[in-house]
Structure 1
Amino acid sequence: MTLPPLLELAAWLAAGIVLGGVYLRLVARSVAAITAPGPSARAVLWLVLRMVLAVLLLWAAATQGAGPLLAVLLGFLLARSLAIRRTGAPTDGH
């Protein structure tokens, strides 16, 4: 069973949002591991995990075509924007 094209793109968009949320959560864990006293081997673990997750989802989307790949990227960017807005970080680079 195949999904209608717009529903399929919505699913890829949702996957990108989830990837963005997980990715940014793992970035936070990496930062916490780096700033904690003692060795930061966990930081490397979180780095590798987030890279593997991002590569796998982006590769899966790319094999389906430009639309799914762009939808995943848009979802990731939406999650990033929400995270920046939520933390109150400046968005203009200052």
Structure 2
Amino acid sequence: MSELETKLGQIATVINQIDDPKVPRNIRKGAKDACEQWLLNKAKEMDVRIAITQAKLEELYEDPNIPPEFGTLILMINTELEKLLRETL
């Protein structure tokens, strides 16, 4: 497993923290889908995986029902994804 894949796995673990009862169901589902369908999908190109995951998480961040601490978590995740995206380009 490459170093980049290891980092993506670590980010996926952090994304899974959004699966919390305090978070609305639609946001939990969106985070899980972004992680499983895009971030960890090895059938897609690395830059596409990272960029689409960022976009999906940004949509969740803009949801007015997201608890503030999880909004901050999404921003932190997107910052790390941005760093990884720069490494892949």
The TM tier, using the shorter chain, reads 0.3 to 0.5
Question: Which of the pair has the greater relative contact order for Cα pairs under 8 Å at 6+ separation?
Answer: 1
Query: Structure 2 length normalisation: TM-score?
Result: 0.39
TM-score (structure 1 length as normaliser): 0.37
Q: Between Structure 1 and Structure 2, which shows a larger proportion of helix residues?
A: 1
